[in-house]
Chains A and B, each alone.
Chain A
Amino acid sequence: MLENLSVGTLSNVSLRIPGGQVVCLSGPSGSGKSRLLRAVADLEPHGGRVALGDTAQLDVPAHQWRRRVVMVPADSQWWFDEVGGHFPADARAGLPSALGFPPGVMEWSVSRLSSGERQRLALWRALVLEPEVLLLDEPTANLDNDSTEAIETWLLDEIRRRQIAVLWVAHDPAQIHRVADAHYRIHGTSLERVNGSD
C-alpha cells in the first residue's frame, strides 16, 4: 500500500496492509506518526507512492481518495450545533449499542459531549462512510479502561466484517498487543517492524 513514502523527517516508508487487518504504529511524540497518517490521506505534501489496490492516490480526485481512505484525527471537530447534522440521514438511526449512547444522542447539542463521547462518535462518523482504509490517530486516548476495551472489541469486529485495512497509531503496549496484526515503531527517520506481534 505505501511505497517509499516520505513526509517530514520520515523517509522511504514502505508498508502493506491487507484488508481486515490492523497495523499499529508507535513512536515518541513528535516522531511524525500523525504526519504519516496525513500523508496517506493526502492532506500533506509528500513524496513516494500510495495505492489502494490498483488505484494510486494521484489517479483519483483528492476528495474521492479521502472518501475511501478516511482518517480520524486525535481531536475530532464538530461544526454543526447538533450531533445529527454530522451524519447522513440514514446513519442517524443505526447507532451501535456498543458505543454506549442512549437513543436520542443525535438530537444532542455538540457542546454537551465530553471528549470521550466525541471520540466514539467520530469513529462512527468515519465508519458510516464505508471506507476501505481507516487511519486512526490514538482513537481511545480520552477513554477509560473499560470503554477502551469495549470500543476495541467493537472496532475489531467492524474491521473484520467490513474487511477494512487499518493503520492505528497507539501508545499503550497492551492495546497494541490486543489489536495489532503487525506493529511498527518509528525509529529516527524510518519504520522498524517490532517482532513478537502476531
Chain B
Amino acid sequence: MEVIDLAWWKLGLAALLILALAGTGYLARLGITRSLLIAALRTVIQLALIGLVLEALFASSAFYWIALLALVMLLVAGREVVARQGRRLRGWWAFSIGTGAMFVSSFTVTILALTVVIGPEPWYAPQYAIPLLGMMLGNTMTGVSLSLDRLNDSVWRQRAVIENRLMLGQTWQQALEDIRRDAMRSGMMPSINAMAAAGIVSLPGMMTGQILAGSPPAVAVKYQILVMLIITVGTGFGAVMAVYWGGRRLFDERERLRLDRLVKP
C-alpha cells in the first residue's frame, strides 16, 4: 500500500478552515483570534523545520548528529519543565533537577527499548530513535513538571505542618510523606489515564499515524502498546527522581525546611 503524499496547496485548504475559525472568533469577539493564528503559524513553521532536519538526519545517520538533536530536545524540555512550575527552586536547581530526572529516565528507557525490544540496525537508527525519544521526552516532561509543581506548592502551603512534624523528631522523608505521595500521583495521572482510555475513548496518535502510513493495524497496535508502557515507565521513574531530588533540596543538611530556596511565582 502506497502512502498518498499531501501537496502543499492541499494543506492550504486546511489553513483556510483555520482562517474561517479565526474570522468567526473575531466577529463574535471571542478573543481567541490572535493566539489561534500565532499558534497555527508556529505549528507550520516548527514542523516544516523539523521535517527538514529529519530528512537530513535520515540521509546521514551519523551518531553524533542524532546525539546532538537528542541533546537539544532534552534541553528544550528542561526549560519547559522550569517554565511550567509556579514556585520553583532558586538558581540552576530547578533546571538541573528536572533535566537530570528526564535525562536518566527517558534516555535509559529509550535506549533499552531500542536495543532490547525493537532492535534496529544500528540501534540508534534515526527513524526509530528520534520519534521514540520525542514521545518519551514529551510525556516525561509533563510528568516531571506536574509533580515538581505539586511538590513545591504543597510544601509551601503546608510549611507549618512539615515543621511541626520535624519538631516531633521525624526525618525529612517522614515529614514529607503525604506531600510526596500527592506529587507522585499528579505526575503519574496523565499516563495512567491515557493507558486506561486507550483504544476505547481515544485512538492514540502514533498508532493512527502508523495506520495512515500503511502499516497493518496489528503491527501498529503492538508498537502503540510498547510505546504506552515505556512512556509510563519513563514518566514514573522520572517523577520519582524529580520528587526525591526536589524534596531533598527543600531541606538542608540539618533537615531544616528551607523555603528560602524557593522563588515566588
Contacts and interface: CB of A to CB of B under 8 A. Distances in A.
Interface stretch (B54-62, B138-146, B165-173, B225-233): B165-173
B164 interface: yes
A75 B255 contact: no
A79 B168 CA distance: 13
Q: Which of B158, B168, B170 has the most CB of A within 10 A?
A: B168
Interface of B: 158, 160-161, 163-172, 178, 252, 254-257
B160 A43 contact: no
Given A43-B166, A77-B164, A63 B171 contact: yes
A44 B256 CA distance: 7
Given A45-B256, A62-B256, A70 B168 contact: yes
A41 B257 CA distance: 13
Given A42-B256, A44-B256, A76 B164 contact: yes
Given A62-B256, A77-B160, A77-B161, A41 B167 contact: yes
Given A44-B256, A61-B255, A62-B255, A126 B163 contact: no
A142 B141 CA distance: 48
B168 A129 contact: yes
By size class, the interface of chain A is 20 to 34
23 contacts: A42-B254, A43-B166, A44-B256, A45-B252, A45-B256, A62-B166, A62-B254, A62-B255, A62-B256, A63-B166, A63-B170, A63-B171, A63-B255, A66-B167, A68-B169, A71-B167, A73-B160, A73-B164, A75-B160, A77-B160, A77-B161, A77-B163, A77-B164
Contacts of B171: 63
A92 to B, nearest CB: 16
A104 B257 CA distance: 34
Contacts of B257: 43
A62 B158 CA distance: 20
A79 B165 contact: yes
Contact of B167 (A61, A64, A70): A70
Interface in A133-148: none
Interface string A148-174: 000000000000000000000000000
A64 B167 CA distance: 10
Contacts of A73: 160, 163-164, 167
A125 to B, nearest CB: 7
Contacts of A125: 168
A70 B178 CA distance: 22
A67 B167 CA distance: 8
A23 interface: no
Nearest to A66: B169
A72 interface: yes
Contacts of A61: 255
Nearest to B178: A79
A72 B255 contact: no
Interface string A109-131: 00000000000000001100100
B121 to A, nearest CB: 53
